[in-house]
């Protein structure tokens, strides 16, 4: 079984690639723009340096692939507000390149799209579930929702097997809590280790 992990040098991607490489043949496609520092992947994992915005690169990466895990993304919310075109180019056009290449590949058993909790915007109730209305408040949230909708549309139109995942606060021991992209859990863990009070905004009931 051969699996392609896009964004496989980032936090989520390295976790997935390492775990999957224990029983499957894993290839990582990453442009190395936001790779996890000070971490080396297992030698069993094949690494391709390339950008999902380039269709020819994507097409070559998909050769002989059975499963696609699309975890590559522009994840900087503030940058998406400053430069929505850059955000859309990465998150929408990149996803479309993968979907289109997968559609023409004919042998893809599953296309797994990693969406984001940002698609919900300000929650109208908590805990948020899959039925909660989607109302993104940033170009990033909108681009991730658009990628999700495109994935589902490719399933309806072309029968491409698709799964969309909406992760919340992913964490692991590999995270740097000082990284601006790290979630609240890693920051809380660091504060606990330093015997510092937890930084909680508001009453802590919001998400």
**55 classed as catalytic:** no
Q: Is there a contact between 9 and 32 (Cβ–Cβ < 8 Å)?
A: yes
User: Which listed residue (113, 120, 140, 150) is catalytic?
Assistant: 140
State the Cα–Cα distance between residues 135 and 92, nearest whole angstrom.
Answer: 17
Give how far Cα 35 sits from Cα of 55, 108, 115, 154, 180, Å. Answer: 21, 26, 19, 29, 14
Which residues touch 101 (CB under 8 Å, ≥6 apart)?
55, 58, 59, 62
| Tokens 């990693």 found at | 114
In whole angstroms, what is the distance from residue 112 CA to residue 102 CA?
11
108/51 Cα distance (integer angstroms): 20
Nearest to 112 by CA among 155, 157, 78, 54: 155
Residues with active-site annotation? 140
């Amino acid at each position: 079984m051969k699996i392609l992990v896009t964004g496989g040098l980032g936090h989520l991607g390295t976790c997935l690639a390492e775990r999957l490489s224990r029983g499957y043949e894993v290839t990582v496609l990453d442009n190395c723009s936001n790779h996890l520092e000070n971490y080396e992947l297992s030698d069993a994992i094949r690494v391709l340096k390339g950008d999902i915005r380039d269709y020819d690169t994507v097409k070559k990466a998909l050769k002989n692939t059975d499963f696609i895990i699309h975890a590559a993304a522009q994840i900087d919310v503030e940058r998406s507000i400053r430069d929505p075109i850059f955000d859309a180019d990465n998150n929408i056009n990149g996803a479309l390149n993968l979907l289109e290449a997968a559609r023409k590949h004919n042998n893809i058993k599953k296309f797994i799209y990693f969406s984001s909790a940002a698609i919900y915007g300000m929650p109208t109730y908590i805990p948020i579930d899959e039925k909660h209305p989607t109302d993104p408040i940033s170009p990033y949230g909108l681009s991730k929702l658009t990628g999700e909708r495109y994935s589902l549309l490719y399933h309806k139109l072309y029968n491409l097997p698709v799964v969309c995942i909406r992760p919340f606060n992913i964490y692991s021991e590999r995270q740097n809590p000082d990284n601006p992209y790290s979630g609240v859990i890693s920051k809380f863990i660091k504060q606990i280790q330093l015997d510092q009070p937890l930084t909680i905004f508001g009453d802590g009931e919001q998400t």
